[in-house]
Amino acid sequence: MSLFVEKYGGTSVADAERINAVADNVAKSHQQGHQMVVVLSAMSGETNRLLALADQIHPDADAREVDMLVSTGEQVTIALLAMALHHRGIDARSYTGGQVNILTDNVYGKARIVDIDAQRIRTDLEQNRVVVVAGFQGVDNEGNITTLGRGGSDTTAVALAAALSADECKIYTDVDGVYTCDPRIEPNARRLDKITFEEMLELASSGAKVLQTRSVEFAGKYRVPLRVLSSFAPDQGTLITFEENSSMEQPLISGIAYSKDEAKLTIVGVPDEPGVASKILEPISAAHINIDMIVQNVGDDGTTDFTFTVPRADFETSRNILESIAKSLLAKEVRADINMAKVSVVGVGMRSHAGVATTMFKALAQEGINIILISTSEIKISVVIDDKYLELAIRSLHKAFQLDESGNDITGKKQQ
């Protein structure tokens, strides 16, 4: 007997028919004797619908009330799934995040889970109940409902799997695993049987929304066995592994991720002296805005241009902050561009193999694509480009790194 946490995303619970299909899948595992905790998203499109509704009422709605509103999407699906399980003769109970003590900080809209007391779930499981939990939501220490950021149901599932020491956390979605690139953008993308946790973390944080980044972080921290698979045609999917193969067997690049969610801000001509970077970035992070890439160029005249990228949703706020501090920093001007995209190539094979950057930049140059910003980590290279070249950039990189062929192995040996 195993304990599984299974998460079903929006398209997997899009209507009554899909919810019945989920119930059949859950019932099968339960009847095989497994303990089942199911985490659900809202029906696909529902979170967007609710956000648009809020926008019609108030263009800058209070964040607490927005969370109160958007958290309702998940309450609909959990109740319906519990009913569908009852209909199959299975004892099941649905719970909101607060009801199963998913405690978060109080940053509405992007709250972080700080603690889970899984006792209530354990008691239900001992009584042979299926526990159905609303994804994406928690409560702060004053009992206010919070939400975990878009795609946050993945994080609910992995965090619950960690708290319950589950045997596996299965993320059921509308693709049958993790691919070398988003298959909706790159038709030649290939499904991977396995991917290392580190690579998955880099792909997710670079925009591959198949898993929310926080969920991969949780999986890494608590060593949660994690699998991504399709709810439409369940197969073995992709396993996120913690083992590192020997570098000779690693493909050079495992995947490509992209993000259209980029905006660039530059504060031009600030004096080049200690403390300037922190004066610029402090108010941005105080507004809970995640800064991604940072570049600083020092000119001959003793001033510096400071450029960084933020998510598009935070563009206006960031620009306002920069404009409000520009004068006190003696800056010449603030430049801003919202039409940016980021493409990243990821692979642990990079560690032991030089030349990845050269291949990447060459492939982009051949298509006439200008690179605006570059950043690297041990296993990732990211470039920011004009977003109108995004698809072309992805296709040329997928080809340049031979990701469409099963066997882009640096030893020339075919991958299994």
**Residues of this chain that bind ligand ADP (CB under 6 A):** 9-12, 41, 151, 173-175, 178-179, 181-184, 208-210, 255
Q: Does 151 bind ligand ASP (CB under 6 A)?
A: yes
- When binding is defined by CB under 6 A, the residue of 6, 10, 173, 264 that contacts ligand ASP is 10
Report in angstroms how near the CB of residue 312 gets to ligand ASP at its nearest: 16
Q: Does 237 bind ligand ASP (CB under 6 A)?
A: no
Contacts of 373 (CB under 8 A, 6+ apart): 264, 293, 295, 307, 309, 383, 384
Segment interacting with ligand ASP (CB under 6 A) among 113-121, 151-159, 172-180, 269-277? 151-159
Choose among ligand ASP, Mg ion, ligand ADP, none what residue 175 binds, the Cβ cut-off being 5 to 8 Å by kind.
Answer: ligand ADP
Q: Which is nearer to Mg ion, 65 or 217 (CB)?
A: 217
Report in angstroms how near the CB of residue 13 gets to ligand ADP at its nearest: 9
Q: What angle do CA 370, 376, 378 make, to 5 degrees?
A: 150
Choose among ligand ASP, ligand ADP, Mg ion, none what residue 325 binds, the Cβ cut-off being 5 to 8 Å by kind.
Answer: none
Q: Tell me the helix, strand and coil percentages in the chain, rounded to 5.
A: 40, 25, 35
Q: How far apart are the first and last CA of the chain?
A: 30
> Which helix (H) or strand (E) segment is 51 a member of?
helix 46-57
Q: Which residues are registered as beta bridge partners of 346?
A: 255, 380
Choose among ligand ASP, Mg ion, ligand ADP, none what residue 397 binds, the Cβ cut-off being 5 to 8 Å by kind.
Answer: none
Tell me which residues touch Mg ion (CB under 5 A).
9, 151
Choose among ligand ASP, ligand ADP, Mg ion, none what residue 178 binds, the Cβ cut-off being 5 to 8 Å by kind.
Answer: ligand ADP
Which residues between 290 and 319 bind ligand ASP (CB under 6 A)?
A: none
142 contacts 21 by C-beta, under 8 angstroms: no
Question: In angstroms, rounded to a whole number, what is the distance separating the alpha carbons of residues 347 and 355?
Answer: 13
Map tokens 């691919």 to a residue: 179
Choose among Mg ion, ligand ASP, ligand ADP, none what residue 210 binds, the Cβ cut-off being 5 to 8 Å by kind.
Answer: ligand ADP
Residue type, position 205, single letter: S
Choose among ligand ADP, ligand ASP, Mg ion, none what residue 73 binds, the Cβ cut-off being 5 to 8 Å by kind.
Answer: ligand ASP
Q: Would you say how long the chain is, in residues?
A: 416
Site track for ligand ASP across 14-43, x = CB under 6 A: ---------------------------xx-
CA dihedral over 314, 210, 212, 254, signed as positive or negative? negative
210 contacts 204 by C-beta, under 8 angstroms: yes
Closest Cα partner for 40 from 2, 3, 12, 68?
12
Q: What angle do CA 236, 241, 244 make, to 5 degrees?
A: 135
Q: Does 255 bind ligand ASP (CB under 6 A)?
A: no
Q: Which is nearer to Mg ion, 179 or 401 (CB)?
A: 179
Question: In angstroms, rounded to a whole number, what is the distance separating the alpha carbons of residues 155 and 39?
Answer: 10
Choose among Mg ion, ligand ADP, ligand ASP, none what residue 124 binds, the Cβ cut-off being 5 to 8 Å by kind.
Answer: none
Choose among Mg ion, ligand ADP, ligand ASP, none what residue 135 binds, the Cβ cut-off being 5 to 8 Å by kind.
Answer: ligand ASP
Residue 122: phi and psi, rounded to 5, are -60, -40
Q: Which residues bind ligand ASP (CB under 6 A)?
A: 9-10, 41-42, 47, 73, 135-136, 150-154
